[in-house]
Structure 1
Amino acid sequence: MKIAFYGSSLLSSYWNGAATYYRGILKALAGHGYEITFYEPDAFDRQQHRDIEPPQWARSVVYPATQEGLRSVLAEAGAADIVVKANGVGVFDRELLEGIVSESRPDALRIFWDVDAAATLDEMRGDASHPVLQALPHLDMVLTYGGGPPVVDAYTGFGAALCEPIYNALDPETHHPAPHDARFTADLGLLANRLPDREARIEEFFLRPAAQLPQSSFLLGGNGWHDKAMTLNVRAIGHVGTGDHNAFNCTPRAVLNVARDSMAHIGFSPATRVFEAAGAAACLITDAWEGIEQFLKPDEEVLVARDGQDVAEILGALTPERAEAIGEAALRRVHAEHTYALRGRQVHRIFQEHQQRATEPA
Structure 2
Amino acid sequence: MSSHGLRIAFFGASLVSAWWNGAAMYYRGLLRALHARGHRITFYEPALPERQRHRDLPVAPDYATVVMYSAEGTQGLERCLEDARSADVVVKASGVGVLDDWLNARVLELRSGTTQVVYWDLDAPVTLERMAGNPEDAFRALVPCYDRIFTQGGGDAVVLAYRDFGARECIPVYSAVDPDAHHPVGPEPRFDCDLVFMDDRLPDLERRVESYFMRAADLLPDKRFLLGGEGWGERSRPANMRYLGPVPLRDHNALRVSARSVLDVSRDGMARFGFSPAPRLLEAAAAGACLITDPWEGIELFLEPGRECLVAQDGLEVAEAVLCLTDEGVRQLGEAARRRVLAEHTYAHRALLVEQALGHVPGPGTVRKSVA
Alignment equivalent of 2:14, drawn from 9, 20, 23: 9
Aligned to 1:246: 253
Cα displacement string for residues 305-351 of structure 1 (whole angstroms, at most 9, x for unaligned residues): 11101101110111122011100000000111111001101111111
Which residue matches 2:285? 278
When residues 109 and 120 of structure 1 are mapped into structure 2, their CA distance, relative to the original with a 3 A threshold, is: same
Which residue among 8, 29, 43 is the counterpart of 1:38?
Answer: 43
Taking the aligned partners of 1:102 and 1:130, their CA distance within structure 2 comes to 20
Matched residue SS, 2:211: helix
Letter in 1 for 2:40: E
- Which residue does the alignment assign to 2:314? 307
* 2-structure distance, mates of 1:181, 1:285: 21
Shift of 1:130: 2.2
SS in 2 for 1:134: coil
1:332-347 aligned at under 5 Å gives the runs 332-347=339-354
1:61 aligns with 2:67: yes
Deviation at 1:232, TM superposition (A): 1.3
The verdict on how the C-alpha distance between 1:12 and 1:80 changes in structure 2, with shifts beyond 3 A counting, is same
Q: Show CA shifts across 1:257-285 (max 9, x none).
A: 01100001111110001111000000010
Match of 2:323 among 307, 316, 320: 316
Q: TM-score, normalised by structure 1?
A: 0.95
CA 1:223–1:19 in structure 2 vs 1: closer, same or farther (change >3 Å)? same
**Match for 2:188 among 181, 194, 202?**
181
The structure-2 alpha-carbon separation of the partners of 1:194 and 1:303, relative to structure 1 and needing over 3 Å to count, comes to same
Which of the numbers 101, 112, 117 marks the counterpart of 1:110? 117
2:303 corresponds to 1:296: yes
- 2:99 matched residue in structure 1: 92
Structure possessing the higher relative contact order (Cα contacts under 8 Å, 6 or more residues apart):
2
Match of 1:18 in 2: 23
Unaligned runs of 5+ in 1: 356-362
| CA distance in structure 1 between the aligned counterparts of 2:137 and 2:35, rounded to whole angstroms | 32
Equivalent-residue separation in structure 1 for 2:46 and 2:338 (angstroms): 35
RMSD: 1.4
Q: How many residues align?
A: 355
Question: Does structure 1 retain, via aligned residues, the 8 Å contact 2:263–2:291?
Answer: yes
SS in 1 for 2:141: helix
Alignment of 1:159-178 (within 5 A): 159-178=166-185
Q: Which residue of 2 aligns with 1:268?
A: 275
Matching residue of 1:359? none
| Distance change in 2, residues 1:353/1:293 (3 Å) | same
- How does the TM-score come out when normalised to structure 2? 0.93
SS in 2 for 1:224: coil
Match of 2:349, as an amino acid? Answer: L
Separation in 2, partners of 1:319, 1:56 = 43
- Residue 358 of structure 1 is matched in structure 2 by none
Query: In the aligned structure 1, how far is the partner of 2:66 from the partner of 2:188?
Result: 32
2:124 pairs with 1:78: no
Aligned to 1:101: 108
